[in-house]
Amino acid sequence: DLANIINAAALLGGRKSKSYVEQEDMVEAVERAIAGLEKKSRRINPEEKRIVAYHESGHALIAETTKGARKVSKVSIIPRGLAALGYTLNTPEENKFLMQKHELIAEIDVLLGGRAAEDVFIGEISTGAGNDLERATDIVKSMAGIYGMSEIAGLMVLEKQRNTFLNGGTTKDYSDNMAQKLDEHIKKTLEERYVLVKERLVEYRGCIERIVSSLNEHETIDGEHLRELIAGFEQENAMASKLQHLPKSEHKPK
């Protein structure tokens, strides 16, 4: 995989008549592998662009303010590949081979962030969160059925992972009654996380608007700029809260 990325980066540098491969070529090669080619020529109407901006801002904000979530390296509203109208690129800070329960819940929250942002800021939901919801559902299902991370089945494994040489996948081994309980657990868990994610977005409403404004202006922002926007908003909020709790005489204009 690494060799393919480096080769793609070399081709990108060569097309620009560079004498050596630069970091920006490597980053673009990685993004192409993950999300596909940029489609700047793809025309989307202003309303769809607005929806995508809020959607991706929701993913990014939740990722940066949730313990255990992977940090954001880039947010873009430039279409890529065959279907993506925008994307938020999350990269782990280190190589990891295990995920703890709080990290899986954080990933669910980040996935729900896009749909929640549409709900809160647009006032209507779109089809853009289809893949996010599918992945979030799969995580909750695996937590309960494979990893023993729920009260629904305790330590009992509901789905056994098959040998990878037999095309992988899982086999189900539980009753219809347990299946119904599992469905109810998945639905309840997603609803609970969704409510919490929406509350976080409302709390950071002003910050979301700043992120959206920056995306509309530049179409792409990196993780560092995103964190600066969030830090600035949090500092302003902390200062405003401090002033509110001071005696009137201490902050009354002279």
Residues involved in catalysis: 56
- Single-letter residue type at 48: E
H/E run at residue 74: strand 72-76
- Single-letter residue type at 185: H
Quote the CA–CA distance of 138 and 228 in Å, as a whole number. 33
Quote the CA–CA distance of 226 and 91 in Å, as a whole number. 14
For the chain, give me the number of helices (H) and strands (E)? Answer: 9, 5
- 176-to-145, 147, 155 alpha-carbon distances in Å: 14, 20, 19
In sign, the C-alpha dihedral spanning 80, 83, 88, 89 is: negative
H/E run at residue 200: helix 176-203
Nearest Cα neighbor of 87 from 151, 22, 38, 137 is: 38
